[in-house]
Amino acid sequence: MNITLTEILDLIGKLDDTPGQDTARERFRRHLDKNLIAPGQIRDYVEECLRNTGDQYNRALQDLVNYVGKFLGFDVGFGRYQGVRGQIGFDGHWVSPTSFHIVVEVKTTEVYAVKTATLVDYVNQLISEKTIPSWDQALGLYVIGRPDPEIPQLENAIVAEKRSEQLRIISVDSLLSLAEVMNEYDVRHDDILSILKPSGCTIDPVVELMTRLVAGAPEVLEAPSPVHEQPAGSAQELAYWLTPVASDDEQTSEEVIQTLVGDTGIYAFGERTPGRGKLKSGDWMCFYASGKGVVAHAKVSSAPVKKPHQKVRHPDRYPWVFGLSQPVLYLEDPVVIDYETRTKLEAFKDRAPRKAWAWFVQGTHEITRHDFNILTRQGGKR
């Protein structure tokens, strides 16, 4: 039986900073220590935190981010949930085997202004206490749960205050992806550290990492061929597709889907988007909003044509436009691709549903009709 994060939190009680070994906080962390064996499980819990609101989920997110640090090879010290006078208020203190220190601050959203001086002061206090040798061996890292492309306040503040060598920002989704890459490929802790730290003069380590990833990429398991109920003599069978839609500095993924799929009845692919040459009129496509779930589906009404459309963000990068009909949007009620859902998908027949699963939602690919129906709550339709 798979237990959800909400059920766990209901069982252990209110997360707070009460000291002792039998507190809700310690019971929660012991549960994570005992049961989190793969980054995919952490991703499930993190996405559940981000779909809900309140202190309980914010504090659980803080602990989960620290567990990602453990998966990345750091010795992790947990901070307090709530700051108090006389104690350093960091959310996490990660120590690398190389003796490099990362002081972590977890933010669920970027809606509220963040003062960079606070995180800088945490590091300075740890240096004063001789817990950290110096800034040469330290970094302040903001981990953002729900980045908002329209609120670059934190990034702007870091650049304006010339703290790019001291402070960095990463989304929790990207942090999880690093853990999954480390778990699945020939990626070492030093590689992860070279990505998190400000770039030095030499870029060779990053190039070497990319080379090893390409050389050691596991064989991609193709989704099984869909079985369709087609009229006799049909020349081509329908295909079913899943495509991810990411947020950027201009629009959230939901805004992109609303504008293109819901309002305009189109979507667009790039030159290298997988499946572009196979997509045809009559196919069905579902749209995954990164970190949320499948939030829309529609019928493809035309094959992709290289004709950039003004409604498409970055039309130069996504010039292949195709029409959509019969769009159905459920932006506020996504189909979450959690553990229970993954156990029902044919795409995971030869893969462990608890392990890394970002591969399933990080690129456009064909899926079976069975999986499409599950991801769009269609039951036995289509």
Pairing status of strand 365-367 against strand 167-171: unpaired
Residue 380 belongs to some domain of the structure: no
* Per-residue pLDDT at 144: 93
Sequence-ordered list of residues with C-beta below 8 angstroms from that of 306, at least 6 positions apart, any chain: 319, 320, 321
Question: What is the phi/psi pair of residue 308, to 5°?
Answer: -50, 140
CA-based nearest residue to 339, from 28, 50, 27, 41: 41
Residue 231 belongs to some domain of the structure: no
- Per-residue pLDDT tens digits for 196-222: 988 766 777 777 777 766 665 544 444
CA-based nearest residue to 59, from 79, 40, 77: 79
- Per-residue pLDDT tens digits for 27-69: 999 999 998 888 888 999 999 999 899 999 999 999 999 999 9
Same-domain pairing of 365 and 244:
yes
Same-domain pairing of 246 and 198:
no
User: Is it the case that residue 225 has pLDDT exceeding 50?
Assistant: no
- Tokens 């740890």 correspond to 126
Same-domain pairing of 250 and 184:
no
Same-domain pairing of 37 and 138:
yes
CA-based nearest residue to 256, from 379, 149, 143: 149
Residue 174 belongs to domain with CATH number: 3.40.91.50
Domain boundary among 175, 196, 213: 213
Residue 272 belongs to some domain of the structure: yes
With contact defined as beta carbons under 8 Å apart, do 364 and 242 qualify?
yes
Q: Work out the percent of the chain whose per-residue pLDDT is above 70.
A: 90
Range of the domain at 122: 5-213
Residue 118 belongs to some domain of the structure: yes
Same-domain pairing of 165 and 261:
no
Domain boundary among 197, 213, 229: 213
Same-domain pairing of 203 and 256:
no
Residue 363 belongs to domain with CATH number: 3.10.590.10
Question: Domain count of the chain?
Answer: 2
- Tokens 């030869």 correspond to 350
Residue 77 belongs to some domain of the structure: yes
For the entire predicted model, the pTM comes to 0.75
Rounded to 10°, the helix 5-12/55-71 angle is 110
Same-domain pairing of 14 and 133:
yes
Same-domain pairing of 191 and 324:
no
Ranges 140-154, 183-197, 214-228: which has the least confidence: 214-228
Which helix (DSSP H) or strand (DSSP E) does residue 285 occupy? strand 284-289
CA-based nearest residue to 170, from 75, 102, 253, 73: 102
Residue 202 belongs to some domain of the structure: yes
Same-domain pairing of 162 and 16:
yes
SS3 of residue 202 by DSSP: coil
Same-domain pairing of 266 and 178:
no
Same-domain pairing of 207 and 263:
no
Residue 228 belongs to some domain of the structure: no
Same-domain pairing of 86 and 207:
yes
With contact defined as beta carbons under 8 Å apart, do 213 and 188 qualify?
no
Residue 224 belongs to some domain of the structure: no
CA-based nearest residue to 270, from 314, 320, 201, 200: 320
Q: Work out the percent of the chain whose per-residue pLDDT is above 90.
A: 61
CA-to-CA separations, 108 to 74, 80, 331, in angstroms, rounded: 22, 16, 20
Q: How confident is the model at residue 378 (pLDDT cuts 50, 70, 90)?
A: confident
Ranges 35-39, 233-237, 281-285, 367-371: which has the least confidence: 233-237
